[in-house]
Amino acid sequence: MLSHRTLSRLAGLLLAGVLGTGVAQAQETKIKFQLDWRFEGPAALFLTSKAKGYYQAEKLDVTVDAGNGSGNAVNRVASGAYDMGFADLAALMEFHGNNPTAPNKPVAVMMVYNNTPAAVFALKKSGIKTPADLVGKKLGAPVFDAGRKAFPIFAKANNIDLAKVNWTSMDPPLRETMLAKGDVDAITGFTFTSLLNLNARGVKDEEVVIMPYPQFGVKLYGNAIITSEAFLKKNPDAVKAFLRAFTKGAKDVIADPDGAIKFVKERDGIIDEALEKRRLKLAIAGSIATADARAEGFGDIRGPRLSLMASQVADAFATKERINPDRVWDGSFLPSKEARNILGK
């Protein structure tokens, strides 16, 4: 039989082990993260770090949830329902401009889509070839579509009279269908969304005219990682750790986008893997590994460009107040420039 002293030592060791486990768990910071959209190809940027344990290695317990639009992602982070999220910078700016007294305005801490994926799409058979050809035509998009909301900026850059462009509103699933059927002459949408949706409706790439905003004078930033002011103040080291882990995962995704789709498949088993591989590659080529991103550095921004965007968004979105670019962006939590050198050749 074990002596009383031995039993006491064993009990002490057991208790220490339990307490030690509790301390280790307590050191892990929980982060609820909200995507901008469903589990599609670009979600691999965040799911890869989760699947490969990069967040856990930084002592983070990260939950990644699907979303339903950048505006909602901004609102959910602002409300405190989520700690961090992924959202269009223009949507974040709009929130700041329309909610100047909000107690917990989110802030962008890392740029991911250095160039907006917004574009105008038309069918070649319509005769539309350039922005000037949109005058007098019927354009379609959901009222909250990022490209539609920013269209006044596109119009100004290309000398289009807004009064001579007619808009038709519809739910997102009907946008590409209406273009394919000829119910509208052109649509606005993301390059890696609308093109693939048109393909699914029997429209081939060579039958489509695409006018990406960045190639037509509109240098808006796209989606960024955001966090709430409250979470940032309470957990600055956790935010830095998240961005380090995310950057490692993004590097893997850019190096092997095909291989990264399996992590998206794990979250949504019904996705079309071939389709999502193409979507991810389009996002990387058009919005992530761009010439502007290489010049500015992955994850970072340029002050003058940010200021111009803040002014353009305030005008185009008719915000209640002007937007202060210094309030929407904080790059002090970014990993080192060397760590962010992930765009490859």
The DSSP secondary-structure symbol of 147 reads H
pLDDT score for 114: 98
* Residue 304 burial (10 A CB sphere; 0-12, 13-18, 19+): exposed
Kindly report, residue by residue over 81-91, the tens digit of the pLDDT. 999 999 999 99
Mean predicted lDDT score pLDDT of the chain: 93
d(CA 321, CA 236): 29
Q: Which domains does the chain have, with CATH numbers?
A: 29-115+221-333 (3.40.190.10), 118-216 (3.40.190.10)
**What pLDDT does 91 receive?**
96
Cβ neighbours of residue 174 closer than 8 Å, sequence gap 6 or more: none
Q: What is the pLDDT of residue 24?
A: 45
User: What residues have CB less than 8 Å from 224, skipping those under 6 apart?
Assistant: 86, 87, 88, 89, 92, 108, 109, 110, 111, 112, 113
What residue ranges of the chain have pLDDT lower than 70?
A: 1-26
Predicted model pTM: 0.90
Q: Write phi, then psi, for 64 (nearest 5 degrees).
A: -110, 120
Q: What's the rounded Cα separation, in Å, for the pair 258 and 58?
A: 26
Convert the pLDDT of each residue in 271-290 to its tens digit: 999 999 999 999 999 999 99
According to the model, what pLDDT value does residue 26 have?
57
Residue 74 dihedral angles phi and psi, to the nearest 5°: -60, -45
Phi, psi (rounded to 5 degrees) for 249:
-65, -40
Among the residues of the chain, which ranges form H helices?
4-26, 44-51, 54-57, 70-79, 89-98, 146-149, 151-157, 175-181, 191-200, 229-234, 236-255, 257-267, 273-283, 291-296, 303-316, 325-328
Q: Give the C-alpha separation, 41 to 81, whole Å.
A: 25
Q: How far apart are CA 250 and CA 335, in angstroms?
A: 13
